[in-house]
Amino acid sequence: MQNDIEKILISEEQIRNRLKELGKRITEDYRDKDNFLLVGVLKGAIIFMSDLIRHIDLPLQVDFMAISSYGASTESSGVVRILKDLEENVEGKNLLIVEDIIDSGLTLSYMYNILKSRKPASIKICTLLDKPSRRKADIKVDYLGFEIPDYFVVGYGLDYGEKYRNLPYICVLKPEIYQ
Ligand code: 5GP
Ligand code: MG
Ligand code: MG
């Protein structure tokens, strides 16, 4: 796998330090709220979610939702549907959506609207990565790990054709891999 990597954009140490800060802010912001539920977006957010919650010093629940997005390609189709729904009833809960990356924003905007219609007490968005230059949907990010330029990145949960999720950092693959 190491041979497929062009360059590392965000190191393990940078991720670790940023997650500590995010966890601290989230802990402060949700300290006086109850029914705190983190909603992870499968599969990309699994590693971010599992590391992040260990920096949140509050009682919380986790649940996961799977939404169709790119498949093996690197471009958003705009066609979005629920592949796996939540197990929890979200009514009256304080939701924090945990996403790996926001690109066009179409996937998250769709998910946000579905969750909002289920009458939670509040909804906020936490994303590890953001590519604001590619935005098509209007989305307010409440907690951001890193803003990145318009590269297709993998690692730390993010895949290309279901591979590379287990790399411990965020990186760009060599151009020939994407061909
Ligand atoms: P959006 O709907 O915001 O365009 O994209 C949503 C999803 O596409 C993200 O949650 C992520 O799963 C995938 N995606 C977007 N950009 C990238 C990227 O640079 N690398 C990888 N691996 N997935 C991406
Ligand atoms: Mg995602
Ligand atoms: Mg993917």
Q: Round the average pLDDT of the chain to a whole number and report it.
A: 93
The residue whose CA is least distant from atom 4 of ligand 1 is 104
As a whole number of angstroms, the distance between CA 170 and CA 87 comes to 30
Phi/psi region, residue 176 (left: phi>0; alpha: psi -120 to 50; beta: rest), is alpha
Q: What is the pTM of this model?
A: 0.94
20: pLDDT confidence band, cut at 50, 70 and 90?
very high
Which secondary-structure segment (H or E) carries 143? strand 143-147
Cβ atoms within 10 A of the Cβ of 138, count?
Answer: 7
Is the domain defined by 12-153 classed in CATH 3.40.50.2300?
A: no
**pLDDT tens digit string along 66-125?**
988 655 555 665 567 889 999 989 999 999 999 999 999 988 998 999 999 999 999 999
Average pLDDT of the segment spanning 54-75? 83
**174: amino acid identity, one letter:** K
- Give residue 179's pLDDT: 83
The pLDDT confidence band at residue 147, using thresholds 50, 70 and 90, is very high
pLDDT at 1: 85
Amino acid 77: pLDDT: 58
pLDDT of residue 73: 57
Q: What is the model's pLDDT at position 134?
A: 87
Residue that wins the pLDDT comparison between 44 and 1: 44
Could you tell me the strand order of the sheet in which 170-173 lies?
Answer: 5-10, 170-173, 153-154
Is the model more confident about 178 or about 146? 146
Nearest CA to ligand 1 atom 17: 152
Q: Look at residues 31, 50, 29 and name the one whose alpha carbon lies nearest to residue 40.
A: 50
The predicted structure's pLDDT at residue 17: 98
ipTM confidence score? 0.96
How many whole angstroms from 64 Cα to the centroid of ligand 2? 11
Question: What is the model's pLDDT at position 80?
Answer: 76
What's the whole-number mean pLDDT along residues 168-174?
A: 98
Would you list the domain boundaries of the chain?
12-153
Q: Which of 46, 77, 100, 166 to mutate to test the pocket of ligand 1 (most atoms within 8 A of CB)?
A: 100
The arithmetic mean of pLDDT across residues 150-171, rounded, is 97
CA distances from 3 to 21, 25, 174 (A): 32, 37, 9
